[in-house]
């Protein structure tokens, strides 16, 4: 894997009783890079993320984040990390402003609380109790708490759950800015457009293993085009590397226009769904 | 090194403020842990207040207020923490803190500070209610005041540590109160808070003598009752030396259990 990475995980395994959560995962992220971790629920994304954050222990393998083994965390190391966990509902009785100002005290080099509140778009809600925020606002508070310490590495575990499309766009702009300032980001998400927009690289994890990784544009069979059309009431679809020839052949089948013809490049979502389906087929084969 | 220690204390002080805001803004906690002794004093004082205990010339209210102050120690520390910490573990408060550079010591300083401030406010209101409505005599000798202070401090520390240790017993935040209240009630009924201690069956007295609340209530009676009332106690004296020993033993035991059992995340999440 070459030189020192900001995040370096090598052959990480983790079992919960009979269940294998991670079966030898290798992940590395360079300084200033954003890696998106994709995968179905239960694939091991959160287990891996929480091992890197120092919350969970691993059974075997080597892990370093900023040169420190997360299973031996120190205060100085933690002050360089920003963590946005899944589904938080804590701190309900404090106001947004009280919360951010208080957490800034824990860090040696915090951002300005007012600026952070503004950056996540909560200025109008600064005096509101956290428990009264909507789902999306609450999530933005979590993001604010993740970045208040000016982290070198930011972990985002499904950060935009419950956001409306506009809020999600605003969040992307915010994360883009952190990236341009050199923050290293590990993003876990179910939204593939989010990974497409934010990530320099994506890794697909299934059943505790990385089944594919690459840039958002190259992962899977992305040379393929997808042609869709209708025949009677049926929706037809074909994946092909020669869409022009395919459409020409198709045109000769129809008199004139091909109904509902559409030709598009395979998206990250198409590639992801195909990878997961392939993995499921292989896994089903193992049990025969 | 000095810088780091100051950091933990400084952050701990910041946490006292945050903890107090959350304590008083959470209506259930404010009623259950803070106002309950006042409510009980008003009810019991109104029903039995004028009656004397035997021919001692001591009113029930005077006896009861000592027990309520001892119970206040139990409410603001043990009951408060043993219920709130499981909830904080469940809703992710503790996990979030664990992920910050905050030294763990700051968290415990915050809890202890919150308990002390809440108790001081509670005991002030409790005594004011007692004096205004139930003719409670308050101690004026410096010895009584000194006794009141050290018993309060040792009791708060012991029950804070025991509350932190007991917080691992409830598996879920929602059910915590149901597992904590019975402990609190049994201790109160057997320790001479609601009944005169010497009127209780012998086995109950022996049981209660194992736990701190009996000694806290007895110590508070030494503060609020006249010297002559010592003759009414089990051994005919206030036993302040024994009280100090029992409380210190429970502090050591509580510190041991709290460090052994305290955890930031729910069981099974590691």
HEC assignment per residue over B123-189: HHHHHHHHHHHHCCCCCCCHHHHHHHHHHHHHHHHHHHHHHHHHCCCCCCCCCHHHHHHHHHHHHHH
Between helices B142-166 and B80-91, what is the axis angle to 10°?
A: 30
Rounded distance, CA A215 to CA B12, Å?
A: 45
pLDDT digit string, tens, across residues B170-184: 988 888 989 999 999
Rounded distance, CA B165 to CA B81, Å?
A: 9
Q: Which residue of B has its CA nearest to A59?
A: B270
- At B145, is the pLDDT very low, low, confident or very high (cuts 50, 70, 90)? very high
Residue A64 lies in a domain: no
* Contact (Cβ atoms closer than 8 angstroms) between residue B83 and residue B90: no
For every residue of chain B, DSSP letters joined together read -HHHHHHHHHHHHHHHHHHHHHHHHSHHHIIIIIIHHHHHHHHHHHHHTT-BSTTS--BHHHHHHHHHHHHHHIIIIIIHHHHHHHHHHHHTHHHHHHTSS--HHHHHHHHHHHHHHHHHHHHHHHHHHHHHHH------SHHHHHHHHHHHHHHHHHHHHHHHHHTTS-SSSTTHHHHHHHHHHHHHHHTTSSS-GGGS-HHHHHHHTTSHHHHHHHHHHHHHS-GGGGGGSTTSS--HHHHHHHHHHHHHHHHHHHHHH--SS-TT--
Q: Does B90 touch chain A (CB under 8 A)?
A: no
Give the pLDDT of residue B5. 46
Whole-angstrom Cα Rg for chain A: 22
Give the pLDDT of residue A1. 43
Give how far Cα B137 sits from Cα of A141, B52, B106, B131, B133, Å: 51, 14, 39, 7, 11
**Whole-number average pLDDT of chain A:** 89
pTM above 0.90, yes or no: no
Give the pLDDT of residue A221. 67
Residues of A in contact with B91 (CB under 8 A): 88-90, 92
Residue A80: CB partners within 8 Å, gap ≥ 6? A66, A149, A151, A152, A153
Give the pLDDT of residue B122. 96
Residue B146 has pLDDT above 50, yes or no: yes
Of the residues A49, A52, A54, A90, the best mutation for testing chain B's interface (the one with the most B CB atoms within 10 Å of its CB) is A90
Helix (H) or strand (E) holding A61: strand A60-65
- At A285, is the pLDDT very low, low, confident or very high (cuts 50, 70, 90)? low
Residues of B in contact with A83 (CB under 8 A): 96, 99
pLDDT digit string, tens, across residues B75-90: 999 999 999 999 999 9
Helix (H) or strand (E) holding A166: helix A165-180
Residue A243 lies in a domain: yes
Give the pLDDT of residue B6. 52
Residue A19 lies in a domain: no
Rounded distance, CA A140 to CA A159, Å?
A: 8
Rounded distance, CA A154 to CA B128, Å?
A: 52
pLDDT above 90 covers a percentage of chain A that reads 57
Residue of B181, B200, B202 lying closest to B190 (CA atoms): B200
* Contact (Cβ atoms closer than 8 angstroms) between residue B16 and residue B22: no
Calculate mean pLDDT across residues A77-104. 94
Q: With CB atoms and an 8 Å threshold, state whether A94 touches B21.
A: yes
Residues of B in contact with A94 (CB under 8 A): 18, 21-22, 25
Instruction: Kindly provide the ipTM of the predicted complex, given to two decimals.
Output: 0.87
Residue A277 lies in a domain: yes
Q: Does B266 touch chain A (CB under 8 A)?
A: no
The tokens for B236 are 């005919």
pLDDT above 70 covers a percentage of chain A that reads 96
| Structural domain range at position A233 | 225-286
Phi, psi of B89 (to 5 degrees): -70, -40
Rounded distance, CA A209 to CA A203, Å?
A: 10
The total of structural domains in chain A comes to 1
Residue A249 lies in a domain: yes
Residue A215 lies in a domain: no
* Contact (Cβ atoms closer than 8 angstroms) between residue B85 and residue B167: yes
CB-based burial of residue A161 (10 Å sphere; 0-12 exposed, 13-18 middle, 19+ buried)? middle
Residues of A in contact with B25 (CB under 8 A): 93-94, 129
Residue B1 has pLDDT above 70, yes or no: no
Residue A258 lies in a domain: yes
Name the residue with tokens 């030396």.
Answer: B241
Give the pLDDT of residue A2. 46
Residue of A121, A73, A126, A77 lying closest to A99 (CA atoms): A126
Rounded distance, CA A75 to CA A59, Å?
A: 24
pLDDT digit string, tens, across residues B50-83: 788 877 788 889 999 999 999 999 999 999 999 9
Residue A233 lies in a domain: yes
- At A3, is the pLDDT very low, low, confident or very high (cuts 50, 70, 90)? low
Give the pLDDT of residue A286. 58
In our burial notation (b when 16+ CB lie closer than 10 A, e otherwise), range B240-267 reads beebeebbeebbeebbebbeeebebbbe
């Amino acid at each position: 894997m070459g030189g020192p990475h900001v995040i370096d995980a090598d052959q990480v395994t983790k079992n919960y009783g009979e269940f294998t959560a991670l079966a030898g995962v290798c992940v590395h992220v360079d300084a200033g890079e954003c890696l998106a971790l994709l995968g179905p629920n239960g694939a091991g994304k959160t287990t891996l993320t929480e091992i890197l954050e120092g919350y969970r222990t691993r059974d075997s393998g080597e892990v370093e984040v900023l040169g420190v083994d997360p299973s031996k965390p120190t205060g100085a190391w933690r002050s360089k990390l920003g963590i946005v966990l899944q589904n938080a509902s804590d701190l309900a009785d404090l106001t947004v402003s009280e919360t951010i100002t208080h957490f800034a005290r824990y860090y040696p080099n915090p951002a300005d609380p007012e600026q952070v509140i503004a950056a996540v778009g909560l200025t109008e809600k600064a005096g509101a109790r956290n428990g009264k925020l909507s789902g999306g606002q609450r999530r933005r508070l979590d993001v604010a708490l993740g970045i208040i310490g000016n982290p070198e590495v930011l972990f985002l575990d499904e950060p935009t759950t419950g956001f409306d499309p506009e809020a999600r766009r605003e969040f992307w702009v915010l994360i883009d800015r952190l990236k341009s300032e050199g923050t290293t980001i590990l993003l876990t998400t179910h939204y593939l457009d989010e990974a497409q927009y934010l990530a320099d690289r994506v890794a697909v994890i299934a059943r505790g293993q990385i089944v594919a990784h690459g840039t958002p544009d190259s992962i899977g069979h992305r040379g393929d085009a997808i042609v869709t059309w209708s025949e009677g009431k049926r929706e037809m679809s074909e994946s092909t590397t020669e869409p022009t020839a395919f459409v020409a052949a198709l045109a000769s089948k129809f008199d004139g226009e091909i109904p509902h013809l559409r030709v598009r490049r395979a998206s990250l979502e198409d590639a992801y769904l195909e990878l997961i389906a392939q993995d499921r087929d292989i896994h089903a084969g193992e049990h025969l | 090194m000095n810088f780091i220690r100051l950091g933990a204390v400084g952050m701990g002080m910041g946490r006292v403020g945050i903890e107090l805001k959350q304590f008083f803004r959470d209506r259930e906690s404010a009623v259950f842990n803070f106002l309950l002794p006042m409510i009980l004093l008003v009810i019991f004082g109104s029903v039995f207040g004028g009656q004397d205990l035997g021919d001692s010339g001591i009113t029930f209210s005077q006896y009861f207020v000592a027990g309520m102050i001892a119970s206040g120690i139990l409410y603001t520390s043990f009951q408060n923490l043993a219920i709130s910490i499981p909830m904080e573990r469940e809703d992710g408060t503790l996990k979030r803190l664990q992920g910050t550079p905050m030294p763990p010591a700051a968290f415990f300083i915050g809890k202890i500070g919150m308990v002390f401030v809440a108790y001081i406010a509670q005991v002030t209101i409790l005594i004011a209610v007692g004096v205004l409505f139930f003719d409670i005599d308050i101690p004026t000798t410096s010895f009584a005041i000194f006794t009141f202070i050290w018993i309060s401090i040792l009791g708060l520390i012991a029950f804070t540590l025991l509350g932190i240790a007991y917080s691992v017993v409830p598996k879920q935040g929602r059910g915590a109160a149901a597992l904590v209240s019975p402990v609190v009630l049994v201790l109160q009924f057997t320790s001479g808070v609601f009944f005169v201690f010497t009127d209780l069956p012998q086995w109950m007295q022996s049981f209660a003598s194992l736990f701190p609340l009996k000694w806290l209530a007895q110590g508070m009676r030494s503060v609020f009752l006249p010297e002559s009332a010592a003759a009414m106690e089990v051994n005919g004296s206030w036993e302040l030396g024994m009280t100090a020993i029992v409380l210190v033993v429970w502090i050591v035991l509580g510190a041991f259990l709290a460090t052994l059992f305290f955890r930031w995340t729910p069981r099974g999440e590691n």
